[in-house]
């Protein structure tokens, strides 16, 4: 599936790289082991590698592999070949999405903010209000019912991630997990650390600019700054390694789960 030709150049490039990366995942050329599988460090390393090549692409790929992990944790069906998933779960103040019952299913209406890959994703996991609670739903991203909204927030540094607000109009949805299950599961925190692995990969790529600038120059101040950057990167790598080990040691640890839950 090619990227939407109507996208700006940077977003189109990130989208095509996203499509290509998911294709590699489907061919088992690139693996993202599930968190807590005993191979969480490999998952974080894979996210880091994608991010080193391009943060906007990593933003989209991370959404797809996070959706895969969420579906596995909450009993949903695994993504099918050719599907491109996003996770649209931001809950800032404002209109938001509302889910209502329709027969045996659900429909979603309202505005969802910060929907990365809005023009490329074919499926998405989205959070919506059901009365006083929040619930996670799986939807097909229908161009007629899920329309990017005018006046969306502009992600200047991450414009290539294609992250507009999306207007939902009578979008059929399937509930995934119980109310509040999305934020109460241990994997909520695992996914957040995966995002950190992406940012780490971006920082590693940025550090190469400084390293290249310092190469062949006898400039002690530049060398000192390069050393400080290396120290911080080493600390971040050690933290990710430790987090992966702790996740694998106790994947169902719920010590922090309720910190994200409403009172």
Structural domain contains residue 141: yes
Structural domain contains residue 125: yes
Structural domain contains residue 46: no
Question: What is the total count of domains within the chain?
Answer: 1
Q: What is the CATH number of the domain that holds 108?
A: 2.40.110.10
Structural domain contains residue 76: no
Structural domain contains residue 48: no
Residuewise pLDDT in 10s, the chain (263 residues): 555 666 889 999 999 999 999 999 999 999 999 999 999 999 999 999 999 999 999 999 999 999 999 999 999 999 999 999 999 999 999 899 999 999 989 999 999 999 999 999 999 999 999 999 999 999 999 989 999 998 777 778 899 999 999 999 999 999 999 999 999 999 999 999 999 999 999 999 999 998 998 888 888 888 899 999 999 999 999 999 999 999 999 998 866 555 545 54
Structural domain including 144 reads 85-179
pLDDT of residue 214: 86
pLDDT of residue 122: 98
CA nearest 18: which of 67, 65, 70, 76? 65
pLDDT of residue 5: 61
Integer Cα distance of 134 and 91 in angstroms: 10
Integer Cα distance of 185 and 176 in angstroms: 12
Structural domain contains residue 97: yes
pLDDT per position as a tens digit, 62-98: 999 999 999 999 999 999 999 999 999 999 998 999 9
Structural domain contains residue 200: no
pLDDT of residue 68: 99
pTM of the model: 0.92
Helix axes 187-214, 220-249, angle to 10 degrees: 160
Helix axes 187-214, 40-53, angle to 10 degrees: 50
pLDDT of residue 243: 97
pLDDT of residue 263: 46
φ and ψ at 216, to 5 degrees?
A: 75, 10
pLDDT of residue 73: 97
Token pair belonging to 168:
């939902």
Structural domain contains residue 96: yes
């Amino acid at each position: 599936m090619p990227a939407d030709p109507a996208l700006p150049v940077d977003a189109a490039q990130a989208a095509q790289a996203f499509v290509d990366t998911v294709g590699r995942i489907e061919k088992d050329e690139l693996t993202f082991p599930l968190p807590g599988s005993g191979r969480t460090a490999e998952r974080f390393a894979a996210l880091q590698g994608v991010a080193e090549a391009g943060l906007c692409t990593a933003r989209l790929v991370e959404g797809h592999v996070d959706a895969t992990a969420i579906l596995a944790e909450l009993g949903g069906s695994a993504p099918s070949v050719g599907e491109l998933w996003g996770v649209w779960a931001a809950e800032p103040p404002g209109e938001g999405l509302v889910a209502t019952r329709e027969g045996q299913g659900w429909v979603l209406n309202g505005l969802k903010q910060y929907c990365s890959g809005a023009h490329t994703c074919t499926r998405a996991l989205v959070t919506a209000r059901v009365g006083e609670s929040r619930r996670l739903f799986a939807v097909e991203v229908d161009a007629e019912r899920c329309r990017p909204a005018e006046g969306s927030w502009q992600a200047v540094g991450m414009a290539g991630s294609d992250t507009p607000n999306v207007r939902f109009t009578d979008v059929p949805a399937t509930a995934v997990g119980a109310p509040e299950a999305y934020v109460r599961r241990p994997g909520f925190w695992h996914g957040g650390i995966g995002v950190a692995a992406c940012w780490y990969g971006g920082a590693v790529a940025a550090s190469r600019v400084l390293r290249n600038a310092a190469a062949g120059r006898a400039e002690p101040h530049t060398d000192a700054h390069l050393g400080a950057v290396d120290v911080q990167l080493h600390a971040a790598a050690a933290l990710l390694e430790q987090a992966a080990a702790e996740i694998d040691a106790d994947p169902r640890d719920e010590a922090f789960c309720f910190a994200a839950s409403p009172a």
